[in-house]
Amino acid sequence: MDPTTSDESSCCSPGETERKSHHSDKVKNSLISRLNRIEGQVRGIKGMIEKDVYCDDVLNQIASVQSALNGVGKLLLEHHMRSCVIERIQEGDTDVLNELLTTMNKLMK
């Protein structure tokens, strides 16, 4: 890749001031769809609390949302590793490994 040209599909070029992802439309739509469902679940939990629904039922819904968010995180992490991380390593930027390890530690909390 020529670093003097701006390639919109590049997520991690070292010369870029702002890194961007480069997901396919299919992956992006999948992520957005999952997040829309999660958003609806969170609104549902809020409604459950407003209606004084039994705590255990609310907690089960919270666990469901956490699981769904973990699924989004796993999908995003997989695509990040298969694209951005590999791309940056191929460009000689091994700092991406420390960045990745920090991110993975945050995801695993």
At 20-79, the pLDDT tens digits run 877 788 989 999 999 999 999 999 999 999 999 999 999 999 999 999 999 999 999 999
* Residue range(s) defining the domain that contains residue 53: 25-107
DSSP assignment of 2-62 equals: -TTS--TT-S--TT-SS------HHHHHHHHHHHHHHHHHHHHHHHHHHTT--HHHHHHHH
pLDDT digit string, tens, across residues 68-109: 999 999 999 999 999 999 999 999 999 999 999 999 999 888
**Would residue 72 count as lying in a domain?**
yes
Tell me whether residue 6 is in a domain: no
Domain count, the chain: 1
- Res. 1: pLDDT tops 60: no
Prediction pTM value: 0.77
SS3 of residue 105 by DSSP: helix
Q: Residue 90 CA to chain centroid, in angstroms?
A: 22
Domain of residue 88, CATH code: 1.20.58.1000
